[in-house]
Each structure stands twice: as C-alpha cells, then as structure tokens.
Chain A
C-alpha cells in the first residue's frame, strides 16, 4: 500500500520538478491542441490523422513557420471516443489557458455537439475538419468551423450521375449500424434515393468491425440489385467488397459518404475495390500542382510509390495548412482575431479544393467536391474518366 502511494506521489511530483527546469528553455512556439481518438475503438483513425497533420506541420516549420518565424506545434488530446466527458474537460482546460489560441478537434460530431454549450462561453475557434454529420443546432456557437462537404449537397449529384452511367434502378444498402458517421450518411442517402426514384431491395445493417459478411453477400446475390451502396467505415466496407467479389458478384459499388475514400477500403478489399464510385474531397490525378506536391510528399514519407494518400490524411493536412494561413493573416494571436481571420478566409486553395468561410454558419463553402472512382493501388481518380 505504501509503495503504491509513493509511486503515485512520484508520478505526480517528478514531472513537476523536471518541468521547472524545462521552463527555462523556451523558444517561440505556438502550441495548438490536437484532439482526436488516441485510444479506444477508434485509435486507427486518430493515429492516421495525427500523421497527416504532422507532415503539414513539418512542411510549414521547414518553410519558416508562421508569423515570421514562430514554430507551429500540436500536442495530443485524447478524446477517448466514444466517451464525451474527457473531451469536455480538456476543452474547458484549453479555454482556460490563455496561451491556447484555438483548438483543432479532429473528432466525430458527437464530441462537437457535447461541447456546443461550452463553446458558447468559451470564445475560442474550434476547427473540426473531419466532422461531417448533419448539424442539429441552430447555430455554430459562433466559433465552430467545419470543413468537409456534407453528403446532403453531394449525394444528389452523385446518384444522378450513377443513374446516367449505370442505368441503375434498384439498390441494396449496406451500412454500419452503430457508427454515427455511417449511420448519418445512410440517412441522407436514403432520402436522396427516395427522391430520385430508386428502389431499395435490401437493407443490410452490421455492427462496427464485423468480419463476417456472408449473410449480407447472400442477400445481395439473391436480390440482385443494380448497385450496392455502402455506408461503412472504410475497413468494414473493404471487407464487405472483398467477400462480395469473392462470391462472384460483380455489382457496382457506390459510396454514400466517406467509405471508399479511406485507405483501408482498398487494402482490405485486396484490390477488388477497383471501380467503386463515390465522392471525396480530392482526386490524386487532379493536375493541380498543390495536389501533385502533396501526393509526391506522401509517397516519399511512406515509401509507397504506387499508392496515394486517402481522404482523411489529406483533410488533416489541409486543415493544418488552413490553420497556418489563418495564423498568418490574423491581426494578432488573440482568440477573437483568430476567429475573425477564419471568417475572412476566402477561396484559399488547398488540396481538397478552395475553401471559404464567413457565412452565417460555420460550414465551409467549398467548390464542388470531386466524384471519384478507385483506380490501381487504391488511387482516387476522377470520375467519370474522360
């Protein structure tokens, strides 16, 4: 017992003591909290997003940092997704700490909703580049800035094109039941499909991280739809497609959200995902130099010469670039000025297209998101191929 207490005391006292020495060596640096799921069921996304952000940070610091020489640095905050309470506590701490200019919250929308009330009192910009759910509140607390194009705007365009290209009328829906992301996209997809006159012949819900899609595949074969719409996390989607193709079913796969644009989709389908169609924020064969530079950098860093980065890493890479831009253009590092700088972003060019804020709500205005198809080695290519 005594040992335990001694250990605890040491664990608390030691860093404090060492910290006292660390305080002396201070360089000019801006530290921004990077909140995402670093433990728990969603750890795979957290680490990947952190890396995307890291590449961007290195680039920025190598080019001289922000605001004439100040280094940019991110530190980790674990949201312990699907828990909500830890993020609230950390958010409030970040609010309290006047040195923190803004927070980069790479979380699902659930966590964002949970801090909504606190955000109103906090007066600090919250940038959430990977939250894409339907916004349920009447405003964005003035301080929440989102980034992804919402399915509601894109799916109608996608499905109309799908109908043109594939002459599709009947649909099988495969989705993840307990994932907020997938479920939300599915809801939107259902509405759009109904409006466009598609007929849903099979409704297949699975749980997160399911490995056995046998029964679902059998359903698809029996009902024989024209297309199969997937709304899963990328890895579950990949497994599903693998098992579908193994069975000899050649039905066209269409996305309902960000299923096919994650790297795991290609990897876990063992290449069978080629030809799947969906939308995302960028395409790797986009000739714009900024896109090609990012693709090249990613290939160097990861050593994968034939592949291309996926949508999530790209989103975070862009997010950090946006943050750098905002920090550069802000009048000062006061929180209000940073928020104003966000609102003043107009047609800033990123890998994922141009982005602007400043409307009445915190959604980003993007140029049209790209319709994509999966090509060799999982590269995201523009669709339809011209």
Chain B
C-alpha cells in the first residue's frame, strides 16, 4: 500500500537549482517569435469561444456546457469538410449554424425556464449527454476520433474572425439588445414587467453565442485536424468560464484580459513542472473569489466610499431605506443602464457577484430572495 509516489518524495529531497534555472532558460530561449505567434493564434481561437460565453454571462445565462457547443460545431465542420468534401468557408458557415442550433437547444431545454444554478447544472448535463452520443457513434469515429480534417485554418482566419466577433459583441453591448440583456441579468421579473420580452432576448443571446462559438469550433477542427470526444470535457468548459469570470461583465475587454491570464499563466508558470497546471486553475478561482469576485471590470462598480469591514453589520445597523425605487439612470457610473436600482443599496454589500447585485441585498431579501431555491437573485 504505497499511494504516495516515491518520485514525489524524491523530488522534494534533491532539487538541483542549477538544473531548474537551466531548464527555464531553455524554455525561454526556445521561445521564438513563431512560437509566440502560434500561441497567440491559439489564444485568439480560445477568445472567440470565450467571447461567446461572455455574451451568455452578460445576459445572465450561466453555462457550464460551453464545450458542448464547440464540440458539436467542430464535428459538423469536420463532416462538411471530410464527408461532404465542401470548402472550408462552407464548413465555417455550417459550423456557425450548427452552433446556433445547439444554442437553441440549450435555450429551449434549460435557458428558458431555469435560473442560474439549475441552468449551470443543466447545461453541464446536456454536454455530457452529447459527449456520450459522440462516443457511441461510429460515423463520428467514436473514441478513435474524427481524423482527416484538412489543415485549412490560417492565422488570418483566426484574427479576422476574432476581430469581427469583438466588433459584433461591442455593438451588441451598446445596442438596445445589450440593454435588454443587462436588464434580464439584473432582474428578469422586473425586466419582463418593463416590457422586455425575456424569452426572446435570452434566445438571442444563445443564438449569438452559439454562432460565434460555432465559428471557433470550425477553426479548431481545421487547425488540429482530429477530433476526439474526450477533449470537449468539463475542463474545457471551465477554461472558458474562467475568462469572463476573471474579466467581469462591464465590457468585453474584461474577457480578453481575463482570458489572457487564464490562458498564458499556465504556459509561463507550469511548463517546467506541468503537474501543477490544474491546481493552478483552482488557485486562480479561489483567489479571485476571495479578493475580487466581481472580476476585473465589474458590472456594477464597487463604491469607493464607505469602509471595508463588516458591511453586513453596518447595513443591519442602518435601517434599509424605504422602497425609493427609481427606474432611471443609475448614479453609479456606466452610461444609462436602466434597471431597478434603489439608491444607496450599493454600499451595503461589498461582495458583489459578476452579475451585479449580490444575494443579501436587503431589498432583494425582502422580496424573498431565499425562496428562489438558490436560483440566485436575478
């Protein structure tokens, strides 16, 4: 019975510092511009999917099954390219449409009816089910993978599509759809009362995200030329989720920076001892949640006045203001974001989620936040 690996103990014992620095040196001098460019291209490909997920988070739709959309569209792209023999651009379009279709399925099954927690679990379950289907399909190559996809993705494809997606997301944020999505994210019941068609806005979010991610799936398929079901796992989904989580939901640049941290940090820090790569993700997550849960660019900026410390206690000592609701421009920065804001509630709870209001906001509590069965206060 020896669970502890002798190698682990040995490595702790004799660490040759000279060798470590030499290896690091090797890894860094082995870095050429071409290699960095390769990584940059991979990173941009990752960003396209991450931006799709950002749009979903932006609309309040938490998805832990993003890898499923990437997987489906990648396989469709592969089928179009290999079995149907059509051109890369046709595959691109087909993959985008497949992504939209998958987004629609997600929306219909879980996005429409469920709130945050159940939504997350539901999306995860759908992706797992899809993975099992792919594993059983001989047409898709099952466990051996779908090989033979032509190496058609060039670097400019990735950058152009990334640019287009960034532009589209930016326009979406600024548009009235973006406004509607933010309203749904903050409080869907009230948004519905204000006349926003919640179901349709959510559908739009899923379709948009699905299309962008579909494009990424096609690019991925034609870059690695072989697809196996195990690669589209919960780990891939968590990689995508980390980007908007780190980046915050005020602007899509947050996802880009958050994605940069999530994607590049393992390359920089764990290439010499890769065993720790996954533990690093965990550390990032916990540190993020402890120190800055709202992300780098928070959706609702934290008040700089008011003191840190037990905000909850302070809030308790101050009677919550009577419902001086104002359906108007928020005073808390950003430009004209409607939504229900009760003035002065910002200070009470320092701990914000990336979605804005935290559960525990006294006004929300009065509205029976807990009765949402953990579904969140949106």
Contacts and interface: CB of A to CB of B under 8 A. Distances in A.
A210 B148 CA distance: 31
A184 B147 CA distance: 14
A295 to B, nearest CB: 18
A38 B266 CA distance: 13
Interface string A12-36: 1001101100110100000100000
Interface stretch (A84-92, A232-240, A352-360): A84-92
Contact of A110 (B5, B18, B142, B226): B226
Contacts of A117: 151, 225
Interface in B108-152: 135-136, 142-145, 147-148, 151
Contacts of B87: none
Contacts of B229: 178
Nearest to A43: B275
Nearest to B276: A39
Given A177-B143, A180-B228, A93 B38 contact: yes
Interface string B271-312: 110111110000000000000000010000000000000000
B22 interface: yes
A11 interface: yes
Contacts of B270: 39, 78
Interface string A336-376: 00000000000000000000000000000000000000000
A136 interface: yes
Given A47-B7, A117-B151, A22 B231 contact: no
Interface in A82-136: 82-86, 88-89, 92-94, 96-97, 110, 113-114, 116-118, 133-134, 136
Contacts of A83: 231, 236
Nearest to A47: B7
B168 interface: no
B219 to A, nearest CB: 11
Given A23-B25, A51-B7, A39 B143 contact: no
Given A38-B275, A92-B38, A19 B231 contact: no
Contact of B28 (A15, A75, A182): A15
Given A47-B7, A117-B151, A39 B277 contact: yes
Considering residues B38, B224, B236, which has the most beta carbons from chain A within 10 angstroms of its beta carbon? B224
A40 B235 contact: yes
A118 B35 CA distance: 14
A85 B35 CA distance: 13
B30 A136 contact: no
Size category, B interface: 35 or more
A6 interface: no
B144 A133 contact: yes
B21 A302 contact: no
A92 B143 CA distance: 26
Interface residues of A, number: 55
Given A22-B21, A40-B235, A180 B28 contact: no
B317 interface: no
B286 to A, nearest CB: 15
Contacts of A183: 142-144
A163 interface: no
B226 A93 contact: no
B106 to A, nearest CB: 23
B145 A180 contact: yes
Considering residues B7, B26, B223, B296, which has the most beta carbons from chain A within 10 angstroms of its beta carbon? B26
Contacts of A222: none
A78 to B, nearest CB: 4
A1 interface: yes
Given A97-B32, A110-B226, A136 B277 contact: no
B38 A84 contact: no
Contacts of A39: 270, 274-278
B142 A84 contact: no
Contacts of A82: 228, 230-231, 233
Contacts of A93: 30-32, 34-35, 38
Contact of A18 (B24, B35, B45, B296): B24
A114 B153 CA distance: 13
Contacts of B23: 75
A71 to B, nearest CB: 12
Given A11-B268, A51-B7, A85-B224, A19 B274 contact: no
B197 interface: no
Considering residues A41, A75, A179, which has the most beta carbons from chain B within 10 angstroms of its beta carbon? A75
Contacts of A118: 151
Contacts of B32: 93, 96-97
A331 interface: no
A121 to B, nearest CB: 10
Contacts of A329: none
B81 to A, nearest CB: 14
A135 B358 CA distance: 55
B5 A76 contact: no
Given A22-B22, A96-B35, A183-B142, A114 B277 contact: no
Contacts of A19: 21, 24-25, 28-29
Nearest to A112: B226
A211 to B, nearest CB: 16
Contacts of B271: 76, 78
A92 B34 contact: yes
A75 B27 CA distance: 9
Contact of A178 (B25, B42, B143): B143
Nearest to B280: A39
A12 B28 CA distance: 9
A159 B228 CA distance: 30
B269 interface: yes
A209 to B, nearest CB: 11
A310 to B, nearest CB: 15
12 contacts: A8-B268, A12-B268, A16-B28, A18-B24, A39-B270, A40-B277, A82-B231, A110-B145, A113-B145, A113-B225, A183-B144, A184-B143
**Which 7 pairs across A and B sit closest by C-beta, in order of nearness?**
A19-B25, A78-B274, A183-B143, A38-B274, A93-B35, A84-B224, A15-B24
Given A85-B45, A89-B42, 15 more contacts: A15-B21, A19-B25, A31-B26, A39-B278, A76-B274, A78-B270, A92-B35, A97-B32, A110-B145, A116-B225, A134-B144, A177-B143, A180-B228, A184-B144, A302-B6
